[in-house]
């Protein structure tokens, strides 16, 4: 069973969201998603300052078998992107909820995060897929 930390929120397109103390949110792909993708060889993250719509394709994770889009779970402005992944894409495989984070977003609407799934709901969603 893949890891699904309780303190995070989740989207149906397999992103996780962590609400930070400063009001920003950190976004990455779930442990389940990285396991499905296989070994990542390249990660492309958006530029800082880019405005994202909810569900907009904003990053690309490329494994040996496929390149997949990562979608913004909520609208906002990119406050930071994990540029280190350009050299260490494997961090997404090894530490999906830590060093493998993709972007930090300043949400357009902080309440939007409440519409996302809880860990339990996400687990149920993955099992139903």
Binding site for another protein (CB under 8 A): 41-42, 44, 47, 62-67, 69
Provide, rounded to whole angstroms, the least separation between the CB of residue 101 and another protein.
20
State the residue for tokens 């990660």: 43
- The answer to whether 49 and 26 are in contact (CB under 8 A) is no
Q: Which is nearer to another protein, 66 or 124 (CB)?
A: 66
The residues that bridge with 15 in the sheet, in sequence order, are 29
- Of 68, 97, 69, nearest to 82 by C-alpha is 97
Provide, rounded to whole angstroms, the least separation between the CB of residue 47 and another protein.
6
Q: Which is nearer to another protein, 65 or 124 (CB)?
A: 65
Provide, rounded to whole angstroms, the least separation between the CB of residue 70 and another protein.
12
Provide, rounded to whole angstroms, the least separation between the CB of residue 110 and another protein.
28
In what side-by-side order are the strands of the sheet with 25-29?
9-10, 15-19, 25-29, 103-107, 76-81, 51-52
- The answer to whether 17 and 11 are in contact (CB under 8 A) is yes
Q: Which is nearer to another protein, 6 or 47 (CB)?
A: 47
Q: Which is nearer to another protein, 42 or 114 (CB)?
A: 42
């Amino acid at each position: 069973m893949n890891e699904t930390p309780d303190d995070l929120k989740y989207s149906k397109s397999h992103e996780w969201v962590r609400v930070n103390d400063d009001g920003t949110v950190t976004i990455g792909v779930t442990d389940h998603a990285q396991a499905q993708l296989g070994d990542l060889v390249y990660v492309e993250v958006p530029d800082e300052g880019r405005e994202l719509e909810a569900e907009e394709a904003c990053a690309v994770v490329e494994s040996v078998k496929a390149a997949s889009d990562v979608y913004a779970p909520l609208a906002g402005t990119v406050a930071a992107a994990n540029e280190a992944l350009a050299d260490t894409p494997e961090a997404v495989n090894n530490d999906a909820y830590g060093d493998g984070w993709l972007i930090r977003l300043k949400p357009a609407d902080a309440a939007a995060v409440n519409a996302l799934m809880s860990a339990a709901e996400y687990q149920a969603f993955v099992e139903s897929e």
